[in-house]
Structure 1
Amino acid sequence: MKKFLNIKIRLLMFSALIFLVSCEEEMASEEPVEPPIQNETPPAKAVGTLPVNGEPCSDYEEVSGDDSKVSVLFNWNSAQFADSYVLNVLEGSSQVFTGSFTTLNANVELDRGKTFSWSVTSVNEDGQTNGDSNSFTTPGTPIGNFAPYTAEIVVTFDEGTSEMTVTWVGSDEDGDELTFDVEVFEEGQSVFDSVDLTSTSIGPIGYMLDTDYTVEVISRDGFGNFSVARLEVTSPD
C-alpha cells in the first residue's frame, strides 16, 4: 500500500511539472512579437525638360475654336521609385492647373501671352518629392506686361567652412529691371529672409551636414508682376 502511494505521489508530481512547463511555454508563446522594421523609400526628384526654363514656349498647338489659348506640351524625366507624378502650373501665385499622371508628359491648355511657372512632384506610397520650378511664356501679345521668368537658382556648399552661397539668374521677356525676395529654409524653418534685393547672390550662410534646404526666390518687375522659384537641396554629409 505504501509503495502504491509513493508511485501515485510521483505521478502527481510529474503531471504537475508537465503542467507548469506547458504553461510557461504557452506564456512565452503569447509574448508580443515586434513587427519587422520597414524601410520607407520616397521617390527621387523628377526633372522638368519641356517647356524649356526661362524661354518662350515653342512646343504648342493651336486650340480649335479658341484663339485665346494654346495647348502646351509638358515633359519630365522619370524619377526612381516614383509611381505617379503631379504636374502643377501657376500664374504668379495662382494655380491654373494641377493633375496626376503615370506618364512622363501631358498637354495643358493655357492662355496666350502670359508667363507661367511649373513643377512636377513625384509620388509613391512612402511619400512625395517636390521638383524644382521652371517657367516659360506662351506665344501671343500680352495684356499689359509679361511676368518675370522664374529665377534659376544655384546653391554652392563649402565643406571647408560649412557655409553655403546662393546665386540666381533672373530674366524678363520685356527686359524690365527686377528685384528679388529671397528666403532660405532649413528643414522647413526659415534661416534667412531678405526682400527687394537688386543683387543676385546671398551668403555665406552656415549649414548643417546632411540637412534638407529649400531656397525660394521671388522675382518682381516694376508693374506688379512676379514669379516664384524654389530649389530643394541636401547638404553634404
Structure 2
Amino acid sequence: MTGYLDRLAELLREAHGLPPDHVAATVADLVAYLAQAGGADPQDAFGPVDAFARRLAPCGASAADEHLETWRWLADTYADEHLLNRFGDEGWEVERVDPLGRFVSHRDPERPRRWEYRRELISGGGERLDERLVRDGWEPCGSWVVYAWFKREKAVGAGPAPAPPEPPPVPRRPTFPGRRRCCVLMGGALVLVAAVVVAASTGTGFGVGLAVGLPAGALVPPVTAWAVRGRRR
C-alpha cells in the first residue's frame, strides 16, 4: 500500500503539478478509504497508479495553479444542491467527490468564474442521462452511492455572467447539515425524553430499567459515529 501511495503522491506533485497540501489531503483520504474497505489493495481498488493519478488531477492542472484556493466540504442531500449553487456563484468549481463523500472544490481568487450545479439520481440509464445533459452544456463532477452531480459555467446557460468582484473568503465550515435532518433529530430527541419521563414515573423496576436503558441505547449511535469520525481524521 505504501509504495503505491508514495508513487501516486509523487506523480500528483511532479507530473501534474498539484500543491503539496492538496496531495497530502488526497492521500490521507485514500488511506482512510482503504482502511474502511478492510485494508484493500490500492492496485485492485484504484487501478494502475499512472491512470489513477490522471483521474485525480484537475483538468489542465499545472504548477502555476498553486495560487488556487481549495476547499473540501460535506452536505447532506437536503441541502447540497442549494449550497453548490450558492458557492458556485462565489466562484467555487467542484473537481470531484472524494471517497468520503466530500465536494473537492477550487477557486481562482484572481479570476473567479460562476458555476451552477444539479444533482441527478443514478439509475440503469446513467449513460443516456450523461448524454442528454452534455447536450445542454453539463459535465459530470462527481458521484456518491446513488447520486451524480453535474456542473456548467453560468455563461453556458444564461449568457455571459459577471464574475464576483471580491469573492468572499474560504468558508471555515467543513460540513453543512440540512435543516430537515436537524428537525428530525430534534423530534426524535423529544420523543425519547417523553418516553424516559413516562417510564420513570411508573416507579416499577421495569420502568426504572427502561428509563436508564433508553438514554444509554440512544448514546450508542452518536458515540460510534464520533469514534469513526475521529479515526477518519
The TM tier, using the shorter chain, reads under 0.3
- Structure with the bigger percentage of strand: 1
Larger radius of gyration: 1
> TM-score, normalised to structure 1's length?
0.24
